[in-house]
A and B are shown apart, each in its own frame.
Chain A
Amino acid sequence: MLGLANGYRLTANSSEMALTNETIQERLIAKFGDLVTNFEAPYGMLCFEAPKDQNLKLLQFLYDDPELRFQFLTTLCAVHYPQQKGRELAVVYHLHNLQDNVRIRFKVFTDITTPDIFTATNLYAAANWMERETYDFFGVNFIGHPNLKRILNVDEMDYFPMRKEFPLEDGTRIDKDDAMFGR
């Protein structure tokens, strides 16, 4: 019980200056200036964007900074926005500061014709499979990834199924009558 009580007090002390979204935003702007943009906090979760060639510098800063300490990569994925010309693919990193229990989202956008993003595997080992998955479904080319090949889909697949131009439905299906699906 004593240990628990001490532990609780320690936590309470260290969170005297609780890490707020404003603090994170200020530190990021102090370090990177205009490079970080589009700050917003939907449902209280801080979210921002940076140029894609800056992603590693930003992740490294978020990881190393003694206050920010975003040392856990919760997840990583891509989103396809076909209508945004020149920035069709977004790669989203969900980061977690385990000490202060704060989560943030960090996005980089890339042109779909050159979907090259630096890999985060050297910083977060967890990024390895997540980047493979992102490559598998969206075709994001993670530069420097140790083993960038398909992870979930069949190896023979010759397209990236989560890109919007590809149909969700399988082309070999023969038993579905479109009239029954209101088409």
Chain B
Amino acid sequence: MARPVQYNVKNGGGKAIHIVAPPEGHTGEGFFTTKLSDVVGLARKNSLWPLPFATSCCGIEFMATMGAHYDLARFGAERVGFSPRQCDLLMVMGTIAKKMGPVLRQVYLQMAEPRWVLSMGACASSGGIFDTYSVLQGIDQIIPVDVYIPGCPPRPEAVLDGFMKIQELVGKESIRRRNGEQYKQLMESYGIQ
């Protein structure tokens, strides 16, 4: 039987409710001050729009992750977008053949900054068992990757863990990072603009 709503709201059972701590800042009567980058990070990391680039079995695990049982929506990633222009997080899941490489790169280029990339599973990360002439040996040969999830395929829990790692990166990222020299060098090393 479903729990009555009041159970969730009033916490009749007296269980401890955990609330995420606010970012560092000063609190006073009716105000709270903090760094802009913290607020932006908080907003970004809790509303990531993933773009699933699913090419094989890892994509099936991702479907389970999106489903009710594991529920990626809990992390603010309810909205899975299929347009690169609207998404923040490119999730590459599955074997990327060399012929698919330019397509993946094109999708990455079409995404607007700030953008993050998550490489799920052995194939996307390193080529996996497909050590062969036709398969790209890791997507980091063509696009920069933020988080790698090991596994063949990874369990949905691992995907959630990887996603939380991405959230951590997003939350802590300085809003100036994308204009920085280091970031430009990273992009240039991939031949992007």
Interface residues of A (CB under 8 A from B): 152-154, 157, 161, 166-170, 172-176
Contact = CB atoms under 8 A, between A and B. Distances in A.
A154 B99 contact: yes
Nearest to B133: A161
A173 B141 CA distance: 11
Contacts of B131: 168-170, 173, 176
A67 to B, nearest CB: 43
Contacts of B137: 170, 172-174
Nearest to A156: B98
A168 B131 CA distance: 8
Interface in B76-118: 98-99
Interface of B: 98-99, 126-127, 131-135, 137, 141
Contacts of B133: 153, 157, 161, 166-170
Contacts of A172: 137, 141
B75 to A, nearest CB: 30
Nearest to B134: A153
A129 B137 CA distance: 28
Q: A interface, by DSSP: helix, strand, loop or mixed?
A: loop
4 nearest CB pairs, A to B: A161-B133, A169-B131, A173-B137, A172-B137
25 contacts: A152-B99, A152-B134, A153-B99, A153-B134, A154-B98, A157-B133, A161-B133, A167-B133, A168-B132, A169-B131, A169-B133, A170-B127, A170-B132, A170-B133, A170-B135, A170-B137, A172-B137, A172-B141, A173-B126, A173-B127, A173-B131, A173-B137, A174-B137, A175-B126, A176-B131
Contacts of A176: 131
A175 B131 CA distance: 10
Contacts of B141: 172
A114 to B, nearest CB: 25
Nearest to A169: B131
Contacts of A174: 137
Nearest to B141: A172
A175 B128 CA distance: 10
A137 to B, nearest CB: 10
A154 to B, nearest CB: 5
B108 to A, nearest CB: 18
A149 to B, nearest CB: 14
A153 B126 CA distance: 20
A67 B134 CA distance: 43
Given A154-B99, A170-B131, A172-B141, 11 more contacts: A152-B99, A152-B134, A153-B99, A153-B134, A161-B133, A166-B133, A168-B131, A168-B132, A168-B133, A170-B137, A176-B131
A175 B126 CA distance: 8
A79 B137 CA distance: 27
Nearest to B100: A154
Contacts of A152: 99, 134
Nearest to B125: A175
A112 B137 CA distance: 30
